[in-house]
């Protein structure tokens, strides 16, 4: 007599299904109605009225197809708006999917961020879920943004990076994704940015993972810190405030 076998009739878990499942645990994805409104209210209005001039350097270094990791310096709350304006939907055809801290995902701000494609990471106890979700996004050809310094820095000491972004790039590479890592420098004519001041954003030449494991993480982190420093120096020079000036 044949054994009574149970047949699993549930649909197979595809890459898209896995992405949706992780997304539901971390955020709400990009709301198709809220995103364009946010562009109008948060980007066009404030940026155009607050700054007297905005300069973009190296736009040819920003890939418009395939997965990409953006690694910007972090100097002010305006950074995310500049990135979204000069690397987001209107420019590259893709939204900037920001990995942000848990504290930024709280309250009214958190309500908006979780519906604009941002997803949280606990810097005190980083888990694997945000990294795996970021890899899922990259596998779908998305654009992921991480601030590898981990916080806003307004002084001019040498750039020091956490290893989260480099680990993400190496993890993606281990899964067959050769993701370009684009260093981005942000600069303002004053610190913090002031009314009718100037801002600049500089996209540097993309970096690639070399090797594997911890050695690859350290190597990428070292090269990335130098590339981000160079991009920031270019951005600061563009607004007439070279590194080392007040």
Does the pTM of the predicted model rise above 0.85?
A: yes
Q: Name the β-bridge partners of 200.
A: 55, 187
Contacts of 223 by beta carbon, 8 Å cutoff, 6+ apart: 207
The predicted-structure confidence for 26-62, as pLDDT tens digits, reads as follows 666 788 888 888 777 767 788 889 999 999 999 999 9
Q: Name the β-bridge partners of 188.
A: 199
The predicted-structure confidence for 74-132, as pLDDT tens digits, reads as follows 999 999 999 999 999 889 989 999 998 887 877 877 777 788 888 888 776 666 888 99
The predicted-structure confidence for 66-75, as pLDDT tens digits, reads as follows 999 999 999 9
The two tokens of residue 180 are 């370009």
- The 8-class DSSP code of residue 116 comes to B
Percent of residues, the chain, with pLDDT higher than 70: 86
Domain ranges of the chain: 18-238
Distance, C-alpha 58 to centroid of its chain: 17
The predicted-structure confidence for 197-211, as pLDDT tens digits, reads as follows 999 999 999 999 999
The two tokens of residue 82 are 């500049």
The whole-angstrom separation of Cα 170 and Cα 164 is 10
pLDDT of residue 23 exceeding 70, the answer is no
Q: What is the structure's pLDDT at 45? A: 80
Q: Name the β-bridge partners of 69.
A: 144, 181
Distance, C-alpha 197 to centroid of its chain: 25
Q: Check: CB of residue 66 under 8 Å from CB of residue 172.
A: no
The whole-angstrom separation of Cα 106 and Cα 63 is 32
Query: What topology does CATH give the domain 18-238?
Result: Glycerol-3-phosphate (1)-acyltransferase (3.40.1130)
Q: Name the β-bridge partners of 202.
A: 57, 185
Q: What is the structure's pLDDT at 1? A: 45
């Amino acid at each position: 007599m044949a054994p009574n076998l149970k047949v699993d009739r549930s649909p197979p878990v595809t890459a898209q299904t896995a992405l949706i499942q992780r997304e539901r645990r971390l955020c709400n994805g990009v709301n198709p109605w809220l995103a364009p409104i946010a562009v109008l209210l948060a980007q066009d209005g404030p940026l155009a009225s607050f700054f007297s001039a905005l300069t973009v350097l190296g736009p040819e270094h920003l890939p418009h197809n395939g997965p990409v990791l953006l690694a910007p310096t972090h100097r002010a709350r305006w950074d995310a708006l500049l990135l979204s304006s000069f690397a987001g939907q209107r420019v590259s055809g893709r939204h900037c999917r920001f990995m942000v801290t848990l504290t930024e995902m709280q309250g009214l701000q958190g309500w908006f961020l979780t519906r604009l494609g941002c997803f949280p990471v606990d810097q005190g106890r980083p888990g694997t879920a945000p990294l795996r979700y970021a890899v899922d996004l990259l596998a779908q050809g998305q654009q992921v943004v991480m601030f590898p310094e981990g916080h806003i820095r307004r002084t001019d000491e040498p750039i020091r990076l956490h290893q989260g972004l480099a680990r993400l790039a190496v993890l993606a590479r281990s899964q067959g994704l050769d993701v370009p890592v684009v260093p981005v420098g942000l600069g303002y004519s004053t610190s913090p940015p002031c009314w009718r001041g100037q801002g600049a954003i500089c996209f540097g030449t993309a970096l690639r993972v070399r090797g594997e494991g911890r050695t690859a993480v350290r190597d990428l982190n070292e090269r990335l810190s130098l590339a981000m420093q160079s991009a920031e120096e270019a951005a600061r020079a563009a607004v007439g405030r070279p590194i080392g000036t007040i």
